[in-house]
Amino acid sequence: MSRKEKIKRYLIWTRVKRACTARIASLIVTSLVGWAITGNPLIGLSIGAMDLIIKMFLYYGHETIWERKMAKDIKQIKLEYDD
């Protein structure tokens, strides 16, 4: 495996881990708020679970877009200084 592939794999797995930990925290908060509002812990957990699933994919996509933008910007900066 090349260094570039290794870095790409590292970035992907780091993004996945960050998404998971952020979503777990959000699941807990959303479930507790749903429980507090409805008085039913199962409804709170259901709301939290849907929030978890939807936002995990949104977060992953969001991070991917920003990392691509940063990589493009860094590449441009490197080109400017190579002149």
> Would you state the pLDDT for residue 47?
94
DSSP state of 39: S
> Would you state the pLDDT for residue 32?
96
Nearest CA-CA partner of 13 in 60, 53, 55: 60
pTM for this prediction: 0.58
Tens-place pLDDT, residues 18-66: 878 888 898 899 999 999 999 999 999 999 999 888 887 888 898 899 9
> Hey, where are the domains in the chain?
3-82
Q: Has residue 83 got a pLDDT over 80?
A: no
